[in-house]
């Protein structure tokens, strides 16, 4: 049993962009789905801008996202704002994003009634990650019976956040992903255009090293870390 979740429980993951679900929580997602827990992913924004000096295509990012979700065993998946002006001016549409996460038609807290929400952590270094964190935090607020509020709310981080972000005491939850790491690596391979060379935090070598460093305190090979915003039983 992982995080106290049971088979057929649901988890909603809200990454800022397609690939952040894999970079931040890919091993955990794969472990959850392997244990019979239904994981849904709502990526918030995707728009075509040159990446690392290469041309970019929203359709290609969507295909990569679909392939990565398949590798991780994700059930429902979608991109909220693809090639949408709201994606380029996210701060101006935060209230709309909060409502979408709260009560969107398919991939939302009210539609799925998930037991857990995984979202970007507080210490994200990228502005869009910080904004998606704010929207998720507001959407998951305690609200009585007015809307669904998951019992578990955790924050994940990207490789850049690990090297230039919050201190380890702000990430007290560790998930052993040793057995599910091959699925994470396969999903990372779906995003080849987003990965960098070995000197960059967003490289397979550095991601493996970050996972290994987190796993050292567990005595295992690889692990992912999460900040806790709510853990209720």
Contacts of 78 (CB under 8 A, 6+ apart): 41, 42, 43, 106, 107
Q: Does residue 174 belong to any structural domain of this protein?
A: yes
What CATH number should be reported for the domain holding residue 109?
A: 3.40.50.10320
User: Structural domain of residue 59, as residue ranges?
Assistant: 10-231
Burial of 157 (C-beta count, 10 Å sphere; 0-12/13-18/19+): buried
Q: Does residue 96 belong to any structural domain of this protein?
A: yes
Quick check: 26 and 62 in contact, CB under 8 A? no
Q: Does residue 114 belong to any structural domain of this protein?
A: yes
Q: Which two tokens stand for residue 59?
A: 């359709």
The total of structural domains in the chain comes to 1
Q: Does residue 5 belong to any structural domain of this protein?
A: no
- 177-230 confidence digits (pLDDT tens): 999 999 999 999 998 877 667 777 778 889 999 999 999 989 999 999 999 999
CA distance 149 to 109: 7
- 92-108 confidence digits (pLDDT tens): 999 999 999 999 999 99
Q: Which two tokens stand for residue 76?
A: 């429902």
Q: What is the DSSP code string of 76-118?
A: SEEEEEES-HHHHTGGGGHHHHHHHHHH-SSSSHHHH--SEEE
- 116-158 confidence digits (pLDDT tens): 999 999 888 899 999 999 999 999 999 877 789 999 999 999 8
Q: Which two tokens stand for residue 126?
A: 């990228």
Q: Does residue 138 belong to any structural domain of this protein?
A: yes
24 pairs with which residues across the strands? none
Q: Does residue 2 belong to any structural domain of this protein?
A: no
CA distance 31 to 29: 5
Q: Does residue 3 belong to any structural domain of this protein?
A: no
Q: Does residue 1 belong to any structural domain of this protein?
A: no
The CA dihedral of 47, 11, 97, 27, to the nearest 10 degrees, is -40
If DSSP codes are grouped into helix, strand and coil, which group holds residue 165?
Answer: coil
């Amino acid at each position: 049993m992982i995080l106290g979740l049971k088979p057929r429980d649901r988890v909603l993951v809200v990454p800022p962009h397609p690939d952040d679900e894999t970079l931040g929580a890919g091993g955990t997602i794969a472990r959850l789905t392997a244990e019979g827990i239904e994981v849904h992913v709502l990526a918030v924004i995707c728009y075509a801008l040159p990446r690392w000096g290469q041309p970019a295509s929203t359709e290609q990012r969507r295909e990569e996202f679909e392939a990565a979700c398949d590798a991780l065993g994700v059930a429902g998946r979608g991109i909220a704002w693809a090639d949408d002006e709201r994606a380029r001016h996210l701060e101006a549409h935060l209230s709309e994003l909060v409502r979408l996460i709260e009560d969107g038609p398919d991939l939302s807290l009210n539609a799925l009634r998930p037991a857990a929400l995984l979202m970007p952590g507080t210490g994200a270094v990228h502005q869009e990650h910080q904004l998606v964190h704010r929207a998720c935090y507001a959407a998951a607020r305690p609200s009585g019976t007015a809307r669904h509020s998951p019992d578990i709310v955790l924050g994940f981080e990207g490789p850049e956040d690990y090297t230039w972000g919050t201190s380890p005491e702000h990430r007290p939850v560790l998930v052993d992903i040793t057995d599910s790491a091959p699925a994470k690596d396969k999903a990372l391979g779906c995003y080849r255009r987003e990965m960098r060379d070995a000197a960059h935090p967003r490289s397979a070598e550095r991601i493996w090293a970050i996972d290994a460093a987190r796993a050292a305190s567990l005595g295992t090979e690889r692990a992912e870390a999460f900040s806790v915003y709510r853990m209720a039983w």
